[in-house]
């Protein structure tokens, strides 16, 4: 089975948060489930920067074609992408589009239909109420002009959680919805030794360390975290907070003053690589996630893989955390978040037990191999439906020959 993944950003463009990492994790694991993968993406890197990569390349074993950024820049336009999709979409059995509101997705959906190919769309949380509230006017217009048509003609819509599945269902698109979570590299959490990041950040070994991992963006509600941390410090003055993640459009300048008197206990780490992220989690006593909206919330899963208890708010799709005893689910207000953090950091034995249960859950349910197998099963179900029209079948007679040439580097596909 051959699947083309189309996304506006891909590894190593990790400034865009969880999606590039999650799409990489899926594409890296799908070959083990019998799926031959290729990615079409742009060189967008976040903050107006561009990835310094060749147009045709591999990343971590995944065949990727990075297209130069072009018009419209605000919608991840890419020079040459439309022509490549028009030419090559028919070489694949299925097209998988990631995210909404971007030109690569619109072009991919149209090219798939013209080639007689079914396509899957992963909205990646972009139909959740909290996400739709940001730049709501533009999104309403884009939804009615472009996005609804592409979504309604998809063969399958992919949700990362049951909550996201309900949000997609509320749009009444009449398309099947499959819920497949993101995964985590559980083995990566074994890498670091405890203490390195604390030493580098000047944090005492016995000081409660709270961490946030994610974009510094209004939807993440760091303003609530500021209030919660101030309340926690009133009861536990030794507490420290580390915020790791890229600054989205200078939002840090707006939110940092809200930490006020607790500012000296806050470490702003910016965007961190995988090694430093796992080292930070190794040193953490709790992770907090209080976003207005999350389709999944990968940082919570990564914390569990690293045996770190989690405090999440009810606005995040992680009811399982409390049900499985891996942490707490609290109201989305500063007082409730502070009480949850104090409950965890106030009893180290209880926190260790929560962390162990989280690690077991991550291993049993959220390995990337298990996620890839589930996604591959959904791909096969889509392809097993009624065959494409005969006229399309005639167009595909030479596909295997062309694909073989592409894999040997003698086709425009590469």
92 and 137 both lie in a single domain: yes
Average pLDDT, the chain: 89
Q: Report the number of distinct structural domains present in the chain.
A: 2
Q: What's the CATH code of the domain at 229?
A: 3.40.50.2000
158 and 171 both lie in a single domain: yes
* Mean pLDDT value across residues 61-80: 92
Instruction: Name the band, by pLDDT with cuts 50, 70 and 90, for residue 3.
Output: very high
Are 220 and 214 in contact, with CB atoms under 8 Å apart? yes
123 and 251 both lie in a single domain: no
Compute CA 75 distance to the chain's CA centroid, rounded to the nearest angstrom.
18
339 and 322 both lie in a single domain: yes
Residue 138 lies in a domain: yes
Residue 53 lies in a domain: yes
pLDDT of residue 261: 87
| Lowest-confidence pick of 53-62, 154-163, 260-269, 355-364 | 53-62
175 and 208 both lie in a single domain: no
pLDDT of residue 56: 65
The pairing of strands 286-289 and 266-270 is unpaired
Q: Which two tokens stand for residue 273?
A: 């690589």
pLDDT of residue 394: 40
95 and 174 both lie in a single domain: yes
Alpha helices in 63-205 (DSSP H): 81-88, 103-114, 129-133, 136-142, 148-152, 162-169, 196-201
Are 125 and 294 in contact, with CB atoms under 8 Å apart? yes
Q: Which two tokens stand for residue 56?
A: 């045709």
148 and 267 both lie in a single domain: no
| Lowest-confidence pick of 14-23, 54-63, 188-197 | 188-197
Q: Using omega within 30 degrees of 0 as the cis cutoff, is the peptide bond preceding 72 cis?
A: yes
222 and 305 both lie in a single domain: yes
pLDDT of residue 143: 85
178 and 251 both lie in a single domain: no
Q: Which two tokens stand for residue 267?
A: 């470490």
Q: How far, in Å, CA of 73 to CA of 71, rounded?
A: 5
* Mean pLDDT value across residues 241-253: 93
Strand order, beta sheet including 327-330: 266-270, 240-244, 209-213, 286-289, 310-313, 327-330
Angle between helices 334-345 and 222-235 (to 10 degrees): 50
pLDDT digits (tens, 9 = 90+) for 83-98: 999 999 999 999 999 9
Residue 412 lies in a domain: no
DSSP letter for each residue of 355-388: HHHHHHHHHHH-BHHHHHHHHHHHHHHHHTSSPP
Q: What angle do CA 157, 160, 163 make, to 5 degrees?
A: 95
Are 396 and 90 in contact, with CB atoms under 8 Å apart? yes
Residues 6+ apart with CB under 8 A from 200: none
Residue 352 lies in a domain: yes
Whether residue 186 is predicted with pLDDT greater than 90 in this model: the reply is no
Q: How far, in Å, CA of 60 to CA of 42, rounded?
A: 17
Would you put residue 131 in left (φ > 0), alpha (ψ -120 to 50) or beta? alpha
Residue 414 lies in a domain: no
30 and 151 both lie in a single domain: yes
pLDDT digits (tens, 9 = 90+) for 270-285: 999 888 999 999 999 9
Q: How far, in Å, CA of 146 to CA of 102, rounded?
A: 10
pLDDT digits (tens, 9 = 90+) for 25-36: 999 999 999 999
Q: How far is CA 32 from CA 2, 103, 369, 375, 411, in A?
A: 13, 30, 7, 12, 25
Are 359 and 349 in contact, with CB atoms under 8 Å apart? no
Give SS3 for 329.
Answer: strand
pLDDT digits (tens, 9 = 90+) for 196-207: 999 999 999 999
Whether residue 46 is predicted with pLDDT greater than 60 in this model: the reply is yes
254 and 121 both lie in a single domain: no
371 and 342 both lie in a single domain: no
CA-closest candidate to residue 113, choices 148, 64, 149, 139: 149
pLDDT digits (tens, 9 = 90+) for 271-330: 998 889 999 999 999 999 999 988 788 899 999 999 999 999 999 989 899 999 999 999
Residue 56 lies in a domain: yes
Q: How far, in Å, CA of 140 to CA of 131, rounded?
A: 12
pLDDT digits (tens, 9 = 90+) for 356-406: 999 999 988 999 999 999 999 999 999 998 554 433 444 444 455 555 555
Print the domain residue range for 49: 2-183+367-407
Residue 413 lies in a domain: no
In DSSP terms, 56 is beta-bridged to 65
């Amino acid at each position: 089975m051959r699947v083309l993944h189309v996304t506006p950003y891909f590894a190593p463009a990790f400034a865009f948060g969880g999606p590039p990492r999650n799409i990489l994790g899926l594409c890296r694991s799908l070959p083990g489930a019998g799926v031959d993968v290729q990615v079409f993406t742009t060189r967008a890197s976040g903050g107006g920067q561009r990835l310094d990569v060749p147009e045709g390349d591999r990343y971590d074993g995944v065949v990727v074609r990075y297209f130069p950024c072009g018009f419209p820049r605000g919608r991840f336009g890419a020079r040459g992408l439309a022509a490549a999709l028009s030419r090559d979409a028919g070489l694949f059995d299925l097209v998988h589009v990631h995210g909404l509101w971007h030109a690569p997705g619109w072009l991919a959906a149209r090219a798939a239909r013209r080639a007689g190919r079914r396509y899957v769309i992963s909205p990646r949380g972009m139909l959740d109420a909290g996400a739709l509230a940001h730049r709501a006017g533009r999104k309403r217009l884009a939804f009615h002009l472009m996005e609804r048509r592409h979504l309604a003609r998809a063969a399958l819509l992919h949700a990362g959680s049951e909550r996201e599945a309900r949000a997609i269902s509320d749009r009444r698109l009449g398309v099947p919805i499959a819920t497949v979570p993101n995964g985590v590299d559980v083995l990566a959490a074994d890498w670091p030794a405890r203490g390195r990041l604390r030493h580098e950040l000047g944090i005492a070994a016995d000081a409660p360390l709270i961490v946030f991992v994610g974009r510094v963006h209004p939807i993440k509600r760091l303003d609530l975290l500021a209030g919660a941390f101030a309340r926690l410090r009133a009861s536990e003055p030794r507490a420290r907070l580390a915020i790791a993640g890229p600054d989205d459009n200078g939002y840090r300048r707006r939110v940092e003053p809200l930490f006020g008197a607790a500012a000296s206990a806050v470490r702003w780490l910016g965007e961190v690589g995988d090694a430093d992220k796992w080292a930070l989690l190794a040193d953490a006593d709790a992770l907090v996630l209080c976003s207005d909206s999350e389709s999944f919330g990968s940082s919570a899963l990564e914390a569990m893989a690293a045996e770190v208890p989690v405090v999440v708010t009810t606005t995040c799709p992680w009811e399982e955390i409390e049900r499985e005893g891996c942490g707490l689910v609290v109201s989305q207000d500063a007082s409730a978040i502070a009480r949850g953090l104090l409950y965890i950091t106030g009893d180290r034995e209880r926190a260790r037990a929560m962390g162990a249960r989280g690690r077991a859950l991550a291993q049993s349910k959220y390995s990337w191999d298990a996620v890839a197998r589930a996604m591959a099963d959904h791909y096969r179900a889509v392809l097993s439906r009624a065959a494409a029209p005969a006229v399309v079948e005639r167009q595909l007679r030479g596909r295997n020959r062309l694909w073989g040439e592409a894999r040997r580097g003698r086709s425009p596909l590469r």
